[in-house]
Structure 1
C-alpha cells in the first residue's frame, strides 16, 4: 500500500494525518503547545516545542505503516503571517511571532496614515493589520533595534521547519502572499513595501511553488519520525487557502466558512482581486487559484470565554448550547459584538472590544449564550457582504471547523445567510488538502480538483424561513452598531491598558 502524511502547523497544535491515496484517513496525531500572551499584545510560541511536535506527530502516525508499505510524501499546511528573525548563522533571535500578536498596532496605524499604505495593500493583497510581517518589521525596527540590526534572515513557521530539516531558505508562494510585502501581481517581493520597512530582499527567503519537493531527509530526523530518509517532503501552502481546497470549495461562487479558535470566509478565483475598501485579503493557493476572503479573530475562543466567564466554567460546551437553544432567534433583542481580542475582518481594528447591547431585565445567561453564538455569525455575515462586492454572489457554502459539532450554531449560520450549509465529511480538511497538493507534485493526479472525489457531504442544514424576518431586522442593527463603535475603540482600549498587567 502507498500512503501520504499531511501535517498542519496550527496556532495551538500541530496535527499529522496518515492518508491512503484516495483520501481515506488511517491515523492521526495531535500535539498541543502553549501560545504565550501578555497584556502588551504579545502572542508568541516556542520554536523547539513546535519542531518537536512535528517529529512526534509524524512518528505517531507512521507507526501504522507496515514494512512493505510505501510512504510517498509528507506535505504541509501552516498558520499564516508568522515571523522569526535569525542571525547570520541561522540562530533564532526571536520566538515565533504569530498572527495573533498585536504589538505592531501603532505601526499599522502609521502605515494606514501614509500615502503609500493603501497602495501597498492593493499590490500585496494583505490588509493593513498588526498580524502582517509588514507591520512587524517596522515594530522590530523601532522597539527592538538590536534584533533588527542582527537579523540576517527572516522566515515564517514552515520555512523554519524546512530550514531545520533540509537547510533551505525558502517560502512557498501561498504563505508569501500573506506577508504584506509580496506583490501578488508581479509575484515578487514588493520594493515599496520593503523600502518602508528597511528590509532588504536578501534577508527574505526564496519564493517557491507549493509543489516544490525536498529530498534527502537527514538520517537523525528520519529516525525520530520513523520514516525513510528517501521520503519526499512537499512544501504545500498556507492554512487559509488549503481550507478551501480541503472542503472542495475551489469553484467560483463556492464559499468555505471555517470557525475554529478563530474563523474565516473565503472564495477561490482564477486571479488575484483586491477590495476598493481594503476589507478583504487575496492569498494564493497556487498560481491558478487565488483565495479572496476575510479572517475573524472571533470564533470558538469567544464561546470558550462565555462558558468560562458567564457560566463560571461549571458546565460543558454542550450544556451551554442546550441552554442557548431554549432562546428564540434574535435573543429577544440582545446583541453581542465578539471583539474580545480586537478584530480583523471586516473592521480591521486591533483596538476593537466586545460588548453586549440591548440588555434589559428580561435577559438572563441563556440569552447571553445565544447572543454570543449569533454574534460570531453576524460578524462572519458582515465579512460575507464585503466579499460579495468583490467576487460576486455566493452560490454554495461549505462549512468546517469545531462549530459544526453544534447543530444550533450551524443552523444559526444557515438562517442568517438564508442558504443551505453543507458540512463535508472530512474533519481533517487542511491535512487532506496538503496531501492533494503532494499528489499533484508527485504526478499522481493532473489537477487538484480531484479532491471532489474525496470530499462528501456529511450533513446539510436547511435555512428556516420562519427566522428570516427576525434576522433581516436585527442584523442591520448589528452592522450599524459595529460602525458607530469604531470611533471609541481606541479610546476604551487605551483606557483599559492602564489597568492591565503582564
Structure 2
C-alpha cells in the first residue's frame, strides 16, 4: 500500500495527515504554535516555528508508522493565505511573518487605490484592496521598515517558506498567489504593471507553478530529521480555501462549499476567468488547473457561537448549550443577531461595524439567543450566496463542513436559509485532505483530481429545504439585511468608546 501526507499549515497549529491509496485517513498529528501580537491590530508569527513544529509532527507520524517509509510517496500542503515572509539573498528570514489577520495596513490600502484606482485593481487582480492581503503588507514594510525591504530578495507565503525549508526550492503556486494582490488572476502571471505603479521590484515575486506540480524531493537533512525517505516527492500545494474545496470535491461547475470555522466561507467553483462580481466577493485561482473559485467571507462565524458560549456558558459543552435548539421556532421567537463581532468582510468590507441582538424581550431564554446566533451566522453567509445567484449562478447543492456540519438542526437551518440541498461528508478533514489529494494526483495515482475525489470523499447525509421554513427565512433575511444599514452610524459613534 502506498501513502501520501497532507500538511495543513494553519494560523494556530499545523496538522499532518497520512492517507492511503483507498482514501483512508491512517493517522494525524497536530502541533500548535503561538501568535505574536505586540500591538493592537498586529498579528505575526516566527516562520521557523512553522518549520520546527511541522518537522516534529512528521517525526511523530513516521515513528507511529509501521510500514516501509519509502511507501510514503508524496507530500503536499495547505496553508494560511496572505502572510508575508521576507527573505534575504541567503534565504534567511528578515522579520516575523505578518499574517492574514493583521489589520495595520488600512493606510496602504488607500495608497493602492490612490495610485492604481479601484477599477484597474479589480480588472487585474479580481479583488479589492483589503488589509489581509499581502501587497499592503509589502507597502507597509517599505514605508516603515525600508531597511528590511532593501535587504529582501524574495517574498513568500507561509506554506511556501515551509516547502522551501524541506526542498531548498523557491516557488509559489497560483491559488495562494491570487491572494497577494499582485497576480493577474485571469492571465496567471505576476502583474508587472502593478509592481511598476507601486514601485515594488517584480524580482521579489517567486516563480509560479500549479498546485499539483512536483517541486522536487525532500533534502537529505530533512529526511534525517523526520525519518521520511529522501525519495519522498514534494508537490506545490494550495491555499487553505482552495485545498478545502479540493478536499470537499468542489471540482466541477455547480459545486459550492459552506465552511464554518472561526470565520465562515462560502465558496463556489468557477470554470471561467471572466465572471465579474465587481469586487463584492473574492475571485481566486483554484488548486485545480485552469479553474477558479468565488468566495464570500464572514469574519466571525463560528467565533460568534464560541464567544456566546464563553460569555454565557463557559463551563458547558457545546452539546449542552444547544440542547433544545430544534424546539425553538424559525426566527428564535422574534430575535435577530448580526455576527459582526470583529467587523465584517462580505458584502460589507467594514472594520467598524459591530454585532447586534435585535428584538430582545423578557420572554427570551438562553436557547433563543443561541438559535439567533446560529441563524445570524447563516444569514451572513447567505449574503454571499445571494451575490452568487444575482450573477446568474445556480446554487442548488452545498457541501457543508466545519462547525456548522456538526449539528443536525444547524444543517437543516442552512438548507432552509440557503434554499438548497445541504450535504454532509462521511469523513471531513478539510484542507489537509485537499493537500493529500494534490500529492496523490501529483504522484500519478489518479488521472484527475475529480477521479481522486471519487475515492477520497463520500457523501454521508443530506438535508432538503422545508418550503414553509424557506418562506419564513426569506422574510427574516430581509429584516436581517436592514440591521447593518441602520446600525452603521451608531457603531461609528461608539468606536471611540471601545477598548481598542
SS state at 1:315 partner: coil
Aligned residue in 2 for 1:59 = 59
Kindly state the Cα deviation for residue 399 of structure 1 after the two structures are TM-superposed: 0.8
1:468 equivalenced with 2:484 (yes/no): no
SS state at 1:36 partner: coil
Normalised by the length of structure 2, the TM-score is 0.93
Question: In structure 2, do the counterparts of structure 1 residues 235 and 86 end up closer, same or farther at CA, with 3 Å as the change threshold?
Answer: same
Which region of structure 1 is more displaced relative to structure 2, 88-97 or 471-480? 88-97
Question: In structure 2, do the counterparts of structure 1 residues 182 and 491 end up closer, same or farther at CA, with 3 Å as the change threshold?
Answer: farther
Map of 1:376-415 to 2, 5 A cutoff? 376-390=377-391, 392-415=393-416
Aligned-residue CA RMSD in angstroms?
2.2
Kindly state the Cα deviation for residue 467 of structure 1 after the two structures are TM-superposed: 2.0
1:339 equivalenced with 2:305 (yes/no): no
Conserved 8 A contact 2:17-2:29: yes
Aligned residue in 2 for 1:180 = 181
Conserved 8 A contact 1:155-1:205: yes
Which region of structure 1 is more displaced relative to structure 2, 129-138 or 484-493? 484-493
Map of 1:300-449 to 2, 5 A cutoff? 300-311=302-313, 313-322=314-323, 324-390=325-391, 392-449=393-450
Partners of 2:216 and 2:170 lie apart in 1 by 15
Normalised by the length of structure 1, the TM-score is 0.93
1:298 equivalenced with 2:300 (yes/no): yes
Partners of 1:258 and 1:212 lie apart in 2 by 26
Question: In structure 2, do the counterparts of structure 1 residues 58 and 446 end up closer, same or farther at CA, with 3 Å as the change threshold?
Answer: same
Partners of 2:141 and 2:52 lie apart in 1 by 27
The answer for unaligned runs of 5 or more in structure 1 is none
Kindly state the Cα deviation for residue 39 of structure 1 after the two structures are TM-superposed: 5.7
Partners of 1:222 and 1:378 lie apart in 2 by 48
Map of 1:17-36 to 2, 5 A cutoff? 17-36=17-36
Partners of 1:68 and 1:277 lie apart in 2 by 49
Kindly state the Cα deviation for residue 462 of structure 1 after the two structures are TM-superposed: 2.6
Q: 1:354-388 CA distances to partner (integer Å, 9 max, x unpaired)?
A: 22222233334322221111111100000111122
SS state at 1:85 partner: strand
Kindly state the Cα deviation for residue 282 of structure 1 after the two structures are TM-superposed: 1.5
Aligned residue in 2 for 1:479 = 481
Conserved 8 A contact 1:183-1:189: yes
The answer for unaligned runs of 5 or more in structure 2 is none
Question: In structure 2, do the counterparts of structure 1 residues 68 and 416 end up closer, same or farther at CA, with 3 Å as the change threshold?
Answer: closer
SS state at 1:294 partner: strand
Which region of structure 1 is more displaced relative to structure 2, 188-197 or 155-164? 188-197
Kindly state the Cα deviation for residue 182 of structure 1 after the two structures are TM-superposed: 0.4
Q: 1:80-101 CA distances to partner (integer Å, 9 max, x unpaired)?
A: 1111122333222222222111
Partners of 2:419 and 2:124 lie apart in 1 by 34
Conserved 8 A contact 2:77-2:435: yes
Alignment match of 2:458 (pick from 436, 456, 464): 456
Partners of 1:65 and 1:125 lie apart in 2 by 47
Which region of structure 1 is more displaced relative to structure 2, 247-256 or 425-434? 425-434
Which region of structure 1 is more displaced relative to structure 2, 269-278 or 156-165? 269-278
SS state at 2:23 partner: coil
Aligned residue in 2 for 1:233 = 234
Aligned residue in 2 for 1:8 = 8
Aligned residue in 1 for 2:97 = 96
Q: 1:204-239 CA distances to partner (integer Å, 9 max, x unpaired)?
A: 211122122233422232122221111111111111
Partners of 1:192 and 1:310 lie apart in 2 by 52
Partners of 2:178 and 2:157 lie apart in 1 by 12
SS state at 2:94 partner: coil
